[in-house]
Amino acid sequence: MKHRYLEITFRKGKALAAYLYLPRPAGAKVARTANAGRGLRLDFDAQGAPIGVEITAPSLVTVSELNAVLAPLGIERLEPEEWAPLAA
C-alpha cells in the first residue's frame, strides 16, 4: 500500500474505533503492538516499521495527539480534512 488511509467503524451513528493504515510493503503483517497514549496503539511489522495506528477511543483522541505520535516516527502529519470523519 502506497498511501495511508483512515478506516472508521461506526455503531449507532457514532465512531466506535478507527485504524490509520500507513504505507507498507505488500504482505506486511503486525508483529508487535505498543501503547502510544490515551486511546492509541501503534502496530509494527517484523522489521520494526510502523504500519498502522489503532484508535481505540476516537471520542477521546485529537488530531494533535495523533500527530504527536506520528512525528517521532518520521510520518507526515495528518491534515484536518483526513481527520474530519472522526471529528464529525
DSSP assignment of 55-87, as one string? ES-TTT--HHHHHHHHGGGTPPPPPHHHHHHHH
Residue 50 domain boundaries: 5-87
The total of structural domains in the chain comes to 1
Give the distance from CA 45 to its chain's centroid: 14
Residues 44-87: pLDDT tens digits? 999 999 999 999 999 999 999 999 999 999 999 999 899 998 88
CB 35 within 8 A of CB 62: no
User: What's the pTM value of the predicted model, to 2 decimals?
Assistant: 0.92
What is the predicted pLDDT for the residue at 12?
A: 92
Closest CA to 39 of 12, 10, 59, 22: 59
Burial of 81 by CB count in 10 Å (0-12 exposed, 13-18 middle, 19+ buried)?
exposed
